Amino acid sequence: MVEFVWEFVARAEQLAAFEEHCSKAGPWAALFARCPGYRGTRLIRDLENPRRFLTVDVWDNLESYQAMRRDFSGEYAELDRTGEGFTESERRIGAFEVI
């Protein structure tokens, strides 16, 4: 399995919208759930900075993630554009293999 980790700092006035957008019941997870190999999403809030979050998306393997990016590139880009309105910053931490 592989996990893709992103860091976000949500805008104070958009905190609830960000949480909804990135939660395991949000539109990102709904898009990913349409794809073989997707295993789930976790949204993690920083205890010291309540506007800082990590998302962790779990996939069977790198190939299943890459297929999603290829097959749903337009929908992915649209969700990404929408999410930009909820955040001050976004940073890809990396892709990690579960061992």
For 46, the token pair is 């920083």
State residue 64's pLDDT score.
Answer: 97
Q: What is the pLDDT of residue 38?
A: 97
Beta strand spans in 1-99 (E): 2-10, 38-45, 52-59, 87-97
Q: Kind of pairing, strands 52-59 and 2-10? A: antiparallel
Domain that holds residue 73: 2-97
Q: Which residues of the chain have pLDDT under 70?
A: none
The reported pLDDT for the residue numbered 70 is: 97
- Structural domain total, the chain: 1
End-to-end alpha carbon distance in the chain: 8
Instruction: Give which of 26, 24, 90, 84 is closest to 58, Cα–Cα.
Output: 24
Q: What are the backbone angles phi and psi of residue 73, rounded to the nearest 5°?
A: -60, -40
DSSP, collapsed to helix, strand or coil, labels residue 66 as helix
pTM summary value:
0.92
Please give the Cα distance from 32 to 26 (Å, whole number): 10
pLDDT for 78: 96
Which residue is it, tokens 């909804």? 20
pLDDT at 90: 96
Q: How much is the pLDDT for 98?
A: 92
CATH code at position 32: 3.30.70.100
